[in-house]
Structure 1
C-alpha cells in the first residue's frame, strides 16, 4: 500500500462521524464508536433518559464515555502529516459567529460553510452535509465537466468565428465582383451611348449638308428664274413707249418667251425622325420576361363558334364551318375569345405569335365588355388593345383610336401588365421595341383579349 492510500485510511479512522473532521479530544462510548467530546455533548444535549449512539443508535441510560488517548495520538500524527510543507499556503477556515467554532462542514442545499453545531440546527438538520474536502472534490469534479464543456464551446465558437470570417471574406469578394460587373455594364452602356450619340450627330450633320446643298441649288434656280422675269419686265416696260407698228411686231415674239418661263416648284425637304433605341440587353425586357412570364391559355366558354382551339388551348384559328358548342352568354359574336384567367393584381407577361395574319387584335378587357355586339368596337370603355387592320396599318383600341407604324413588322407580340402601377404595355418581340403603353387605374379584374380575324392562319400563345 502506498503512502497516500495509507494516509487516507488513517484520516478516515481519525475522522469524527459527526463533524467529519479530525477528532478533537476524542471520547469512546459503550458501543465502541469514537466522537469528538464537543460533538457528542452537542448531540446528547437536552436528552434526559436515553442517550443513543449517533451512528448505531444503541442507547445507554447515562452519559457513559471515556477519553481515548490512543485515538488522540493517532489524530495528532495525522495532523502532523497533513501539515503543509514550507512554501505551501495554509488554508484559512472561517469561524462560525453563532457558535464560535471553525466552519469545517459544507451544506450542499444552502451552498454555505457551517460548523459542527450548525449541522444539528433546524435549518440544516435535513440537508446534505459533507466535509470541506469532499465538497471541494465534488465541485472540482463538476467544475472539470464545466471546463470541458466550456472548452468545447470555445473550440466550436472559434471554428464558427473562423467560418464567419471566411464567409465575410467570400461575401466581400462576391460584392466586389458584383460592383465590378455593374461598373463594367455601365461602362458598356456609356460606350454604347457615346457611339450612338456620335453616330446620330454625324447622320444629322450629313442630312444637314444634303438639305443645305439642295436648298442652295433651288435658290440658284429660283434666282435665274427671277432674273429672266426681271428681263422680261424691263422689255415690257420699254415696249410700252414703242410705236404701234413696232409694238405689234415684237408682241408675238415676247408672248412666246413668256410662255417658255415656268416657275420652279416649291422646295420642300423632310427631315428624318431621330431617336435613341436601346438594345434588348439594356431595355430590361429580358428581366420582365424571366421574372413575370405566366402560363396563359384560352377560355373555351368565350370563343366564337367558328373558332377552333387546340387541345392544349394555346392555339386558335378561324374556320368557315361552325363548331358544335353550347350556348353561353359569355361567348363573343365576332371571332374573338378571352384568356382563361382574370388578372386583378401583380405583374404578368405573356407572348402571342401573330405571324403574318392580316387582321388581329390583342389586349385586355373588363368583364363588362359588350360581347353581344355584332362586331368589335374601335372605341369602348374597359378595353385596351392594339391590332393590325391592313398591310402596314396598326391601331390602338379602347379609350381612343390611334394609328401607329412599327419600325419592324411584328410577328410576335409581348404583353406586360403592371396592375398596381396601372400600365399595360405591348412589345414588338422581333426587335424588342415598345409599341404602345396604356395608362389606367384598374379597379376590377381584367381578362386577356384575343381577336383572330377571319383568315385561316392560327393565333398562338407561346409557352414560357
Structure 2
C-alpha cells in the first residue's frame, strides 16, 4: 500500500517548532540557550544588545549570568531541509516527477488496453476459423456418408480440443492483462491523491506503488497453420487412412514432351522423366525449356481443387510444384513466386527447401519417397505433403492466378549418384505409414 502523505497539521507543527519566536520565521543559524529554547543567532544577539548584567530568555524569561548559547547543527539541518522542500524549484521538480509517473502509467495502461483488444480480436478469429473448419469438415464428410462418421467425429473433437487450447492460452493472457490494468489503475489513483497533496508534503517521499505485473507477449495464433492441417484434400486423406488403394483419387497427370528440356528423357507412357547424360533431339517448340532441366505436365488448371502425387525415390535433388503458363522457358531464372514458380526442392539428399526468395529451410523428420501436391486455385494456395503419411511440409498462401501447370525438374546430376526418375502416380501407395 502507498505510504500516507504527511498531514497539513504535522507539517504546521514541524514548521512552528523550527520557527524563531523573535522574528517569527524559520531559524537562521539556530542556537540553543541553557533553557533549551532556540532562536536565530542574529535575533538573540540583537535582543540582548545593550543589556548589562544578567540576560533572560525571550520565551520563558529565565535569567542567565552571561550571554551563553550554542549552535544546534541538528536543528539547522532540519531547517535547511524544510526550507528546501518548500522551495518553488523543489515543488516544480516533484510535480514533474509525478506527471512523468502518471504518463508512464497511462502509456502502460494504453498498451495493455491495446493488448486486451488484440486478445479479444484473436478470440473472435480463433472462433471464426474454428467454426469455418468445422463447417468445411462436415460438408466433406457428408459426401462420404455414414461409413466415415467415426472419422468425422474424431477429427471434430481434435479441432475443438486445439481450438480450446488456443482459446485458453489467449484467455490466460487476457486475464493477466486485465489484472495488470487494475494494478496500474490503483497506482494511478494513489499517484493522483499524492499529486493533489504535493504542496503539503514535508519531507517529500514518493508513494509506494504496487509492483508491475509481468504479462507475456500476446500469444501468436497461426491461422494458416491451424487451417491447413484440416482443410487439405480432406476426403482423400481420410480415404487413404481407410483403404490400401483408391481409384480414382489422383489427378491422372502425364508429362508434356514438348516442354521437356533436351536433357530430360520421358518414358513412352509419359509418366516418368529422368535427366540423361546425352541431349535428346526434340522438335523445336516454343513451349520447351532450353536453359533449365525442367518439364511440365500436359494438364493445366485454372480453377477448383486438384491433387497429385509424385514418386521421387532416393533422388539426391529435385524440384517440383506448379508453374504459371507465362514463365520464361528460354532463360535461366530463379524458381520463386515472383517468377511464376511455387515449388518444393531437395538438395544434398536431405535438405528440403520451399522455393521462396530467399529459400526457406524446412525441417523434415524423414525423407519422403512420394510427394503430394495440393493446388487450390480458388483460394490461391499450393501445399506440399509427404504422401507416405500425409504430413504437411509447406504451404504457399499467395498462390498463382490464372492458368498453371504441374512443374517438375530432376535437376542436373552430379555423377556421384545413379540417375533417379520422377514418376507420376495414378493411384495411391499400397499402404499409408504412421
The alignment's TM-score, normalised by the length of structure 1, stands at: 0.40
Higher-Rg member (1/2): 1
The alignment's TM-score, normalised by the length of structure 2, stands at: 0.42
